[in-house]
Structure 1
């Protein structure tokens, strides 16, 4: 099963990616993990990427696609993969398509978890973190006993800057600008499936697996 997973911030993409990787025994591959692993191992491509990362610049497409090509050629990806966080632009998608053709690992499905902006803002803006032990709460789904303190250590709870409504809306705007062309790109190839991301984790997971197992 060769998959790409799309989803805006707050859509639960990370949770679904983990469950899919476990269910289908395929590696969950994210560009962040690939970059960190290669930098840590000191590979040639990792060292090249590190130069850009250290200077605060974006890692160029050719370096990223080189890292992904190597990762997808590893033995654990022989029976499938789940790409998360890549591609982000049409040039990246074109390069990925070329690489996958060369290594005979074409994409089976591009899964697009779709959630309305209002729901995403509700999910993310209600998240609270303990400034002492790092415990995570949600004022609606997993509320603390009091809105001010951690249940475990009584540390102060705070809202991360990127969980504030104005920042969330900006993140969503950026995501849409990046992803919308890719939605059409993969829809034109008849491999895009859009899943309604509203509801319980298991319900959404069942929607996805029903599609994959059909």
Structure 2
């Protein structure tokens, strides 16, 4: 997998940006390519999701790692493909989407292009209860604008660490119990979080 591309931003169009890294130009499809307009000709770091299918390999890009993590989670919802997931991220922030899922706000979810009531219910069914653990969104009362958003440890690293611990045989309940401690490791990468997680498990 290609986790991110770091290089010179050469080109922007309506669907994608082109970043040159080590002599290779990478076309990266973004929800809002022109969000990078001020960085033309400069070195940028774009978090990427490498989507592989039988007839193509496509890079989807994000300014923030939490957007990439949410994108991957939305892709797990039955009936939503990369274009749909990217469209959601292009019209909502992470906080607003997570809060809508937790509050089962179908009106908010069906405001996204191509999302009807059936898809909105499927998103709630598949994602509710899973996202706040990753993004630490709290205070699910009132409008989406009034909710709090707090980012601690890198959500991508946290997700990778959680999956690694799960593959080692730890249950979701066990992993969830140590997540508050892992979130405090704001500068840790995935490997460091895994080591920290294993140490915490050994203390139980």
TM-score relative to the length of structure 1 = 0.27
The higher radius of gyration belongs to: 1
| Structure having greater relative contact order (Cα 8 Å, sep ≥ 6) | 1
Please report the TM-score for the alignment, with normalisation by the length of structure 2.
0.28
Return the structure number with greater strand share: 2
